[in-house]
Structure formats: structure tokens, C-alpha cells
């Protein structure tokens, strides 16, 4: 039986609050492609472990949870609804508290391995936009367009602040800058899958760009490479 070729993948990696979630969603909507929010998987796992009282340092227990993670991603009019054990956790997942749990489970290589197949399974026709930290460097190394999206820590903290306020969560800007710097340090300096641009990534610094500027830059590049 012929094996279906893997769908075309555009990877969008970058540090926390670089805008990659928003951009990935917009690119996927524009192209009518699927969307993988890989950070959500780490967030789900961190949350699930905490809910079940599993230590975030217990590699083997985390691997077992990662394999059985009872989650569901539902694409609804271009938006993504995320359920954990039958409960809608879409908004709660985005909180700093859960981000912290995610970043702690993400340092374990066996945990990352356990989530690999689940992520690659998203690469189906007509195409996939994959958002994360290691989409271009580890999970989809063959992707024909890899974006590394970044912005200054201050600008990212400001964006995060506005996002949290909009969702009705309390936020403190100075604490967010500090939090973002800590999270960057942890993501960039960890031994396994450290955050860095793939050698063949297109680096976009969005500090002084609007969301539309970034969107058009990526779509232009996809057209130039005849991916769309």
C-alpha cells in the first residue's frame, strides 16, 4: 500500500509571547491548513500532572501521562478549542501558572519523545502550520519553510500584558518582563531541544512590526517558495 506523503509544513518557532501563536493561527486560517499548537501539549501535560498530583520531576510518570493524555483539539471556525479530560481548558491553559508547569515538564527528553508522534500526526493534507520551540529543529526538520519569530523581552511582556487583561486575568508588567526573561533562559539553555533558530530558518524580529506585516512577510515567502 502506498504511504501518503507528509503534508507541507510551515514551522513557526520562537520565544514566549513573540506572537507566534497569533501568527500561526492567522497563517493557517489564510491557507486553510491545520494548526498545531505544540506548546498546548506541554501545557496540557503540566496541568494534567498537577491535577493528578504527579511530580514534575518524575520522568517515568510524566511519560506515562504523555502517552495517555486525554485531550482533544477541536477546530471551530478557525479557532481551536482544547479539552482536557472532557473539560474546556482553552483559556486557563494560556495562564502564566500553566506556562510555568509546561516549561518544567518540557525539560525531560523522554517526555519530549513521548509527545513527538502526537505532534507529527498533525501533518496531514492540505498542510500544517506548526507553532512551538523546536518545530523546525527537531519535530519537522524537513519543513520547506521555517520561521523563527522573535521580539524584544519588553515588547513581548507588553503584548502578554494586553492579552491577559483582555481575557480578564490580572497582570503586572514588571513581573511579566522578569517572567519572560526567566522562561527564555530556561528554554534557551536547557540541554534538550534548546530554543534556537534552525540553521535554515528565516528569522523575523517583530518588535516594530504589526501582526499583518508579519503575516504578509510569511505568506510572501511561502509563495516565493511555491508552497502555496
Question: Among the candidate windows 39-47, 62-70, 171-179, 196-204, which touches ligand C5P by CB under 6 A?
Answer: 39-47
Candidates 19, 23, 36, 42: give the one binding ligand C5P (CB under 6 A).
Answer: 42
CB nearer to ligand C5P: pick between 192 and 228: 192
Q: Tell the residue number behind the cell numbers 471551530, with chain if given.
A: 76
Which of the residues 134 through 173 are near ligand C5P (CB under 6 A)?
134
Question: Among the candidate windows 80-88, 132-140, 154-162, 202-210, which touches ligand C5P by CB under 6 A?
Answer: 132-140
Which of the residues 177 through 196 are near ligand C5P (CB under 6 A)?
183, 187
Cα torsion 133, 134, 136, 140 to 10°: value is: -130
| Nearest alpha-carbon partner for 81 in 92, 66, 96, 67 | 92
- Please, what is the minimum distance in Å from the beta carbon of residue 192 to ligand C5P? 9
CB 115 within 8 A of CB 42: yes
CB nearer to ligand C5P: pick between 99 and 127: 99
Residues of this chain that bind ligand C5P (CB under 6 A): 16, 38-39, 42-43, 99, 102-103, 106, 132-134, 183, 187
Amino acid at each position: 500500500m502506498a504511504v501518503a506523503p507528509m503534508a507541507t509544513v510551515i514551522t513557526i518557532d520562537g520565544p514566549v509571547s513573540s506572537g507566534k501563536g497569533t501568527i500561526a493561527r492567522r497563517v493557517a486560517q489564510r491557507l486553510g491548513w491545520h494548526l498545531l499548537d505544540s506548546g498546548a501539549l506541554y501545557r496540557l501535560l503540566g496541568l494534567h500532572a498537577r491535577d493528578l498530583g504527579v511530580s514534575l520531576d518524575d520522568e517515568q510518570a510524566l511519560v506515562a501521562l504523555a502517552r495517555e493524555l486525554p485531550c482533544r483539539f477541536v477546530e471551530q471556525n478557525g479557532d481551536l478549542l482544547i479539552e482536557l479530560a472532557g473539560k474546556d481548558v482553552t483559556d486557563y491553559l494560556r495562564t502564566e501558572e500553566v506556562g510555568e508547569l509546561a516549561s518544567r515538564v518540557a525539560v525531560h527528553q523522554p517526555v519530549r519523545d513521548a509527545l513527538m508522534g502526537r505532534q507529527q500526526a498533525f501533518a496531514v493534507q492540505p498542510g500544517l502550520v506548526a507553532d512551538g520551540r523546536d518545530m523546525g529543529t527537531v519535530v519537522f526538520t524537513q519543513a520547506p519553510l521555517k520561521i523563527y519569530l522573535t521580539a524584544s523581552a519588553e515588547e513581548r511582556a507588553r503584548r502578554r500584558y494586553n492579552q491577559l487583561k483582555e481575557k480578564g486575568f490580572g497582570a503586572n508588567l514588571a513581573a511579566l518582563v522578569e517572567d519572560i526573561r526567566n522562561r527564555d533562559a530556561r528554554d534557551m539553555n536547557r540541554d534538550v531541544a534548546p530554543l534556537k533558530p534552525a540553521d535554515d530558518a528565516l528569522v523575523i524580529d517583530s518588535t516594530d512590526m504589526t501582526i499583518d506585516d508579519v503575516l504578509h512577510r510569511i505568506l510572501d515567502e511561502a509563495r516565493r517558495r511555491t508552497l502555496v
